[in-house]
Amino acid sequence: MKKSFSKITTGMKAITSTWKIKLLLLIGIMCLIVIAFRYSPFLFPIRAQDLEKNQFHSIKFYDRRGFLLQELLSADATRLVTVELDQVSPYFIKAIIAAEDKNFYHHHGLDYNAIARAIYHNLQAGKIVSGGSTITLQLARLLHPKPRTLLNKIREAYMAFRLEAGMDKSSILKAYINRLPMGGNLYGVDGASRAYFGVPASELTLAQASLLAAIPNSPNSLNPYHDLILLKKRQRIVLERMAKCGMISSSRVEGVLKEDIFLKPQMASFLAPHFIFQLARRLPQSAQTVRTTLDAELQKLLSEQITLVLNQLKPYHVTNAAAILLDNYTGDVLAYVGSADYFNNEHDGQIDGVQALRQPGSALKPFLYVLAMEEGFHPASLISDVPTHYTMPSGIYSPKNYSEPSVVPFASAKPWQILLTYRPSAYWPK
């Protein structure tokens, strides 16, 4: 009995010892992976010049007289203007750090305290209510945007370590603020500053800077042209964080929020977007300067006329319009307005009404009337309303109406009634 118990005990010890070895081996492998993940980026650093090599050049679009219409990135049709940190208002630098990464100067790519805090808050809420992204992590995502999966987040973290290994904080911050999504097709603080306020980034006031620093949190919904009220709420959060970090005094928050924000007229900073984007898709990647047939003054005039007409037609629930102005002699496109407001998602502003397919409707009636008159019809002509059948390329066409057959004068005839008498099949292209 003692021998059997001794064998069992020895066997249990052997099993326990084996599991201990396996566990220690697993822990050792995991430690090696963590160490490699954290320190191997020093072998493959990403430097500032590496980002410049991959930076897309811009394409400048001019009107027929040399007026600059738009400046877009060649790859994805977005506007990007690069500036140095000393060309940016200190207010914006402080605001973006307070809003996005208050510990930016005290971590090496990942803010472990912020990550732990985010996990705790998300578990408490039962859903994602906060994140632990740093400015370096966001830059990694901006450089290589991908769906937000766990695997991609791990890749972003590794790239953040590589960025920190090859660049100082100033270089990372410069690359970040010049790539920030700022609503619409705007990227970077200087492009947004000029588009929204008409001033360079160096001249931003605290009110303007804090408003711009609020946009990257959700560029689509916080576009100042779309929802300034929602953006002002986010601006309050930015200012309160600045005060909490000691960047401004708490007493300034309310005063800044009460300041009037004057936005630059939207069309002035976004001329002929449908035309430019359509043209950009057809250009080779090497294109840098494009002279178009557009006339900037006519473009503005046509846009203003559309806005005026829509205001007059508002009681009739007309919400959008499109127009194209051509030179009949040369065929040049002089003005091209795809919609009344490119940024108006409620009325499908980004859909190009000039190119969109639609029913011709009454647009064909004048041509039909003229063609009939050329055949000898006049306002006193009588047209018999009788069943008629035509052989068309698509089959038998039998136009009809819901009223009884009658004889109607030409002047009051409906287009389909003229069609019954004036045989279109005789003129159908063969």
Q: Which residues are catalytic?
A: 100, 362
Strands (E), 173-317: 186-187, 289-291
Tell me the pairing of strands 390-392 and 382-384: unpaired
Query: What is the distance between the alpha carbons of residues 282 and 255, in angstroms, rounded to a whole number?
Result: 49
Query: What is the distance between the alpha carbons of residues 182 and 60, in angstroms, rounded to a whole number?
Result: 20
> CA angle at residue 212 from 207 to 216, to 5 degrees?
150
C-alpha distances (whole Å) from 377 to each of 71, 161, 416 are 55, 82, 15
DSSP class of 375: T
Two structure tokens written together for 200: 């360079």
Do 132 and 114 touch, CB atoms closer than 8 A? yes
Query: What is the distance between the alpha carbons of residues 24 and 401, in angstroms, rounded to a whole number?
Result: 88
> Measuring CA to CA, which residue among 226, 232, 229 is closest to residue 212?
232
Element (H, E) at 187: strand 186-187
C-alpha distances (whole Å) from 54 to each of 49, 84, 191 are 9, 18, 19
Two structure tokens written together for 311: 């205001």
For the CA atoms of 329, 335, 339, 342, the dihedral, rounded to the nearest 10 degrees, stands at: 150
| DSSP SS3 for 316 | helix
Strands (E), 236-350: 289-291, 323-326, 333-337
Two structure tokens written together for 135: 């400015």
Query: What is the distance between the alpha carbons of residues 179 and 173, in angstroms, rounded to a whole number?
Result: 10
Query: What is the distance between the alpha carbons of residues 378 and 136, in angstroms, rounded to a whole number?
Result: 77
Q: What one-letter code names the amino acid at 7?
A: K
The distance from CA 219 to its chain's CA centroid, rounded to whole angstroms, is 8
Helix pair 228-244, 206-214: axis angle to 10 deg:
110
First to last CA, the chain: 108
